[in-house]
Amino acid sequence: MLCKHCGTEIADTAIVCYRCGAGTTEPVRQPANIRQKRSSMLGFVVVALLLLLALYMGQASRTASDPNTYQTIAGVLVGAALVVFILRIVRRR
C-alpha cells in the first residue's frame, strides 16, 4: 500500500509510515471540541445598566405628569434584568 502523505510503499499491515510517521488509518477517537469561553463581565454589565435605567425611570416618574408610563418602563427594565441574570445562572450549569 502507498502512504497517503508521502507516497512511500509500506506494508499493508503497517500502522504508521516508516518514512514520514503519518498514521495509515483514521484515529478511533476524535479530540473533543473546545468551546471558547465568553466574557462573564458582559452579562453583569447588561444587568447593571438595565437596573440603573430602571432606577432612573423610577426617579423620573416622581416629577412626570404621567408617572404610570415611567413606572411601567421601570418595571419592564427590572424584569429584563432579572431574565438576563437568570439566563446567565442557568447557562453556567
- Total structural domains within the chain: 2
Show the cell assigned to 60.
423620573
The residue range of the domain holding 55 is 41-92
Is there a domain that residue 88 lies in? yes
Is there a domain that residue 54 lies in? yes
pTM, entire model: 0.53
For residue range 31-46, list pLDDT tens digits in order: 888 877 766 788 888 8
Is there a domain that residue 33 lies in? no
Statement to judge: residues 83 and 54 lie in one domain: yes
Q: How far apart are CA 15 and CA 35, in angstroms?
A: 32
Statement to judge: residues 24 and 48 lie in one domain: no
Statement to judge: residues 67 and 88 lie in one domain: yes
Is there a domain that residue 34 lies in? no
Are the beta carbons of 44 and 85 closer than 8 angstroms? Answer: no
For residue range 72-85, list pLDDT tens digits in order: 989 999 999 999 88
Q: Assign 3-class secondary structure to 5-52.
A: CCCCECCCCCCECCCCCCECCCCCCCCCCCCCCCCCHHHHHHHHHHHH
